[in-house]
């Protein structure tokens, strides 16, 4: 778990396309609801499977000094297969100013982080509807088994790291990973502060002593992946993306710029490699933000990763984590899990991306890193099953290491050519959607000469640690096209 400021913490490791318009696609929405029906088994109090959101428009005003947040949310949603006589949003202990459903005042209750809304008139099955919520108060992390998660007041600014259930700490949402929506986020703060969020910055408007920042995230996004950082940042471009490239920006305290310029210099090379191996970067832009305070580990959001000052040392001491968070943009963010039982599909691939970057950039090979992980796991309790680790163990270090080993085992079984075709196909087939372990098994089977059932039974469904898988191909032979050097350090 990742310690933030003030003793609060967030979990470690972090780590049906809609166009963002208000027009509902009833049939597609019905299928989506049907596929993700039922509460999340790990967090049954979070989210409501009776409807889906396809767009959030959040208008926020935040004052860092008193830690005061006032917000308005316009939520465009679609009912499921049965009429909605009531529905639920997750929202922490704020004061509710006003609620409207399709312009009419509903009945509602707000207790225990659950905002239950009973519309004045039932919403028919498959119908689009709009919810407007006004709220205000002092945001703070929500309580979780891993400590406080979500909105974190810093010594001079704020940070949002919501995995897995922290999104309601700052806005009303259908807080389940399978419910992905587009976002428009407007944040007004004193002009001394910058606001960083995932997506594209549309406008920045200064009036008197305040500035309003407006971001658009058009790609479907899980509620926990909406990131935000408010602070006094200097913004730099990470390399020149060139025609058709991915804009990459860093937002850091000015005094950390010399160290940052070395620690993140090779991120553009990572982006190039991961696009080669995983397919095109799935979003419009990518940003990293570094806070003045320390975090145990970085945390990913969609189109954005958040790092602590302790991850910037000028010696590339956290470079594997730079690779890990970038890889989550494909695995976890673009291709998201249907519920939290399948979290190894996020973390196993991000861990393996660390090993691939090491192999590519002249460090230890994936086989050597797999062997080190195997030795580590061999000395630890062997009672964790990747396919369903349980809520208590979903952020256990063993899940990350064993997840990486499971991906390595698939690579060893398929061979490099089929393995990397399989990876690119996985992202392409499930772009902007949600997946399960069973779906991954089915996908891998399409690329295997022999049934991989025994492999998955051992590595994913079983608890006992299998023997170390061995890659037969020589290291560093898997790259498509010509071999490239990691590239020169980026200057800012």
Q: Please tell me the distance from the alpha carbon of residue 252 to that of residue 229, in angstroms, as a whole number.
A: 11
Cα three-residue angle 423-394-316, rounded to 5 degrees: 65
- Give the count of beta carbons closer than 10 Å to the beta carbon of residue 44: 9
Question: Is 294 flagged in the annotation as binding?
Answer: no
Question: Is 328 flagged in the annotation as binding?
Answer: yes
Provide the 8-state DSSP code for 168. Answer: G
Question: Is 107 flagged in the annotation as binding?
Answer: no
Active-site position among 193, 215, 286, 400: 400
Q: How far is CA 253 from CA 230, 302, 317, 319, in A?
A: 11, 22, 18, 19
**Structure tokens given for 78:** 């679609």
| 267 touches 278 (CB < 8 A) | no
51 included as an active-site residue: no
Tell me, rounded to whole angstroms, the distance of Cα 350 from its chain centroid.
11
Q: Please tell me the distance from the alpha carbon of residue 239 to that of residue 446, in angstroms, as a whole number.
A: 38
Active-site position among 272, 325, 354, 359: 325
400 included as an active-site residue: yes
Give the DSSP per-residue string, 293-344. Answer: S--SS-EEETTEEEE-GGG--SS-TTHHHHHHHHHTTTBTTTBEESSGGGTH
Q: Please tell me the distance from the alpha carbon of residue 162 to that of residue 42, in angstroms, as a whole number.
A: 16
- Candidates 35, 86, 29, 74; CA nearest to 52 is 29
The single residue listed with the structure tokens 């030795």 is: 375
**At 26, is the secondary structure helix, strand, or coil?**
helix
Q: Could you tell me whether strands 181-190 and 51-63 are parallel, antiparallel, or unpaired per DSSP bridges?
A: parallel
**Structure tokens given for 108:** 């509602």
| 117 touches 101 (CB < 8 A) | yes
Orientation of helix 437-445 relative to helix 344-360, angle to 10°: 50
Q: Which residues are annotated as a binding site?
A: 324, 328, 347
Any idea which residues carry the catalytic annotation?
325, 400
Q: Which residues are annotated as a binding site for Zn(2+)?
A: 324, 328, 347
């Amino acid at each position: 778990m990742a310690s933030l400021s003030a003793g609060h913490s967030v979990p470690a490791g972090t780590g049906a396309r809609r166009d963002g318009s208000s027009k509902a696609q009833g049939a597609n929405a019905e299928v989506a609801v049907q596929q993700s029906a039922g509460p999340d088994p790990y967090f049954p109090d979070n989210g409501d499977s009776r409807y889906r959101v396809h767009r959030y428009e959040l208008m926020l005003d935040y004052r860092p000094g008193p830690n005061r947040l006032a917000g308005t949310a316009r939520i465009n949603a679609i009912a499921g297969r049965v009429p909605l006589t009531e529905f639920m949003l997750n929202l922490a202990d704020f004061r509710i100013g006003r609620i409207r459903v399709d312009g009419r005042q509903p009945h509602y209750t707000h207790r225990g982080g659950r905002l239950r809304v009973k519309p004045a008139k039932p919403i028919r099955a498959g119908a689009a509807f709009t919810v407007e919520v006004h709220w205000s108060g002092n945001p703070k992390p929500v309580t979780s088994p891993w400590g406080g998660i979500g909105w974190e007041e810093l010594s001079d600014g704020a940070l949002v790291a919501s995995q897995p259930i922290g999104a309601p700490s700052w806005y009303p949402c259908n807080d389940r990973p399978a419910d992905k929506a587009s976002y428009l986020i407007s944040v007004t703060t004193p002009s001394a502060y910058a606001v960083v969020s995932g997506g594209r910055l549309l406008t920045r408007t200064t009036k008197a002593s305040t500035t309003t920042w407006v971001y658009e995230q058009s790609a479907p996004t899980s509620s926990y992946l909406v990131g935000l950082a408010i602070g006094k940042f200097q913004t730099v471009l990470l390399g020149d993306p060139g025609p058709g490239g991915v804009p990459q920006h860093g937002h850091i305290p000015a005094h950390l710029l010399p160290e940052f310029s070395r620690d993140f210099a090779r991120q553009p090379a990572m982006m190039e490699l991961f696009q080669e191996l995983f397919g095109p970067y799935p979003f419009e832009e990518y940003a990293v933000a570094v806070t003045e305070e320390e975090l145990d580990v970085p945390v990913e959001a969609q189109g954005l990763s958040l790092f602590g000052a302790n991850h910037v040392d000028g010696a590339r001491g956290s470079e594997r984590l730079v690779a890990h968070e970038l890889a989550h943009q494909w695995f976890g963010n673009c291709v998201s899990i249907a519920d939290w039982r399948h979290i190894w599909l996020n973390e196993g691939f991000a861990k393996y991306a660390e090993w691939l970057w090491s192999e590519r950039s002249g460090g230890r090979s994936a086989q050597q890193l797999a062997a080190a992980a195997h030795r580590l796991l061999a000395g630890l309790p062997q009672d964790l099953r990747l396919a369903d680790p349980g809520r208590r163990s979903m952020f256990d270090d063993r899940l990350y290491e064993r997840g990486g080993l499971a991906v390595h085992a698939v690579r060893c079984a398929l061979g490099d050519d089929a393995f990397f075709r399989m990876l690119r196909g996985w992202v392409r087939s499930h772009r902007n959607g949600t997946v399960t372990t069973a779906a991954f098994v089915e996908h891998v089977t399409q690329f295997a000469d022999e049934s991989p059932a025994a492999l998955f039974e051992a590595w994913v469904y079983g608890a006992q640690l299998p023997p170390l898988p061995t890659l037969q191909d020589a290291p560093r032979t898997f790259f498509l096209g010509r071999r490239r050097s990691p590239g020169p350090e980026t200057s800012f």
